[in-house]
Amino acid sequence: MPRFLAVVLLFLAAPAAVAQSMVERFQDGLHYFRIEPAQPSTSDTVEVTEVFSYACIHCAHFQPTIAEWKKTKPAAASFVQMPAAWNPAWEMLARAFYAAEALGILDRTHDALFSAIHVERVPFRSMQDIADWHAAKAGIKAEDFLAATGSTGVNIKINRAKQLVARYGIEGTPSVVVAGRYRITGSSAGGWTEVMKVVDFLVAREAAARSAAQGR
């Protein structure tokens, strides 16, 4: 019986040891930063938000990592992308993101737009240029895309993104926010792959905290 109890205690202690090692590896203020005040979320899951811009070469480099993580992301997590709109050029591309999302063509244009800007060097000088490119890429009418970029729904999302990017304390892209509470960058985590390891750690911790608060 004593031997059996020792085995059980060892089994029970293992998760705690793993959690402790993760706590030591990912430290508040070093690998990630608290957002003060935390921004509320109405999602039932732990929302993971990538703040990005198509104009950002680092975001283009980060995109494959995001794509791979989405395939195996924790069950407790949901994922959204939020374009930064710090200047008129970036706002045009932010509107393009939300317009493509509204028209249901984002899966055909998202990666391709990164490539068009950073690999093919397509010159996008106006919203009309962007609309023409999306029309050719996704088989839609350029005027429909252009109308979507200035729609009420897109305007609301642009304004909300501007507010949240500021409240999150985002200073550069790409940055990842977990549950409106934590901000992670490639520099803080130590690389793009490491960013998602920190994200997984914070998602697990947030999910555990929510479960405990609900008495589960």
Question: Could you report the per-residue pLDDT of 101-140, keeping only the tens digit for each?
Answer: 999 999 999 999 999 999 999 999 999 999 999 999 999 9
pLDDT along the chain (216 residues), means of 10: 44 47 75 95 90 98 96 94 97 98 97 98 96 97 98 98 97 97 95 94 93 76
For the CA atoms of the chain, what is the radius of gyration?
20
Is the CB of residue 97 less than 8 Å from the CB of residue 63? no
- Please give the pLDDT value at position 1: 45
Angle at 158 between CA 152 and CA 162, to 5 degrees: 145
Strand, coil or helix: what is 212?
helix
Buried b (16+ CB within 10 A) or exposed e, 24-45: eebeeeebbbebeeebebeeeb
